[in-house]
Amino acid sequence: MADIRFDGKVAIVTGAGGGLGRQHALELARRGAKVVVNDLGGSMDGSGGSSEAAQKVVDEIKALGGEAIANGSSVTDDAGVALMIKQAMDTWGRIDILIANAGILRDKTLTKMELADFELVMQVHVFGTFKPIKAVWDIMKAQNYGRIVVTTSSSGMYGNFGQSNYGAAKMAVLGLMNTLKLEGAKNDVKINAISPVAATRMTEGLMPPEVLAKLAPEYVTPGVVYLCSDEAPTGAILTAGAGAFALSRIYETEGVYLGEGGLSAEEVRDSWGQITAEDGQKAYFNGGEQGQKFFRKMAGG
């Protein structure tokens, strides 16, 4: 098959001033995309900001012979997001790809977590994913083409000590994806999620240097590039790190039909083995499929 190319395509990568986003932006540009490099340039906990981080990556792309423009807005800021879209449309007239990558951390156990720590993390990851998607959505639908990648995490899908805010936010973006994959299908707007593991400022200090050395962001980016391509699936959660790639899925067991009326908690308790039995478990593509199973079981199927 031919190489994956993005000639004539326009991409926006949020949080692309460093870490994973920078790598995604560089690789899209290498493969022909024109790129809006967004980055607030703040610290890891979301404080401060400068447009220098985005500009540096723009300079790198230009040095490689690519085309890019910088945007120093916060993905949570309505005016800043509108400006980012306007920059892309005024300069290149279309937006084909959006990688919602910007993120921060405010790790604390729940006992120590202030509401502000929860709110800010939700703002950046959830609203900071939603707002750029909302802003590009009708443009992509109107041109009958769009590729969106949201950034989730094993912390959300499986849990991680001290990350209740981050974990909640990273699952929220999957909920967003699950509905938008349905709403975008008719217009060839595909949306997928990347669940990365990479050595960036977010993970430095968490693992020994020899492990981090094997986790360069470059190992995640090929997965993201595929999810931005014409052949991309939709609604997939691709996990990537250190050169390993896998799919994460939510499975539902076949379960048990206990009948109608007069049901007791004890019957649920006593059926726990059947409820949790893994034989015949399935991943559904939409919520309605689960409902169909209930009715099938009710009918004795």
Q: Does 135 bind ligand NAI (CB under 6 A)?
A: no
C-alpha 176/C-alpha 167 separation (Å) is 15
Is residue 16 within 8 A of residue 25, CB to CB? The reply is yes
Minimum gap (Å) between residue 169 Cβ and ligand NAI = 8
From the list 137-145, 180-188, 190-198, 268-276, the region that binds ligand NAI by CB under 6 A is 190-198
Q: Binding ligand NAI by CB under 6 A: which of 84, 136, 139, 202?
A: 202
Does 41 sit near ligand NAI (CB under 6 A)? yes
Neighbouring residues of 179: CB distance < 8 A, sequence distance ≥ 6? none
Contact status, residue 166 vs residue 105, Cβ threshold 8 Å: yes
Span 216-275, contacts to ligand NAI by CB under 6 A: none
Catalytic residue among 145, 166, 219, 226: 166
State which residue, 118 or 145, has the beta carbon closest to ligand NAI. Answer: 118
Q: Is 192 in the site for ligand NAI (CB under 6 A)?
A: no
Q: Does 53 bind ligand NAI (CB under 6 A)?
A: yes
Binding site for ligand NAI (CB under 6 A): 14-15, 17-21, 38-42, 44, 46, 53, 74-76, 101-104, 124, 128, 151, 153, 196-198, 200-203
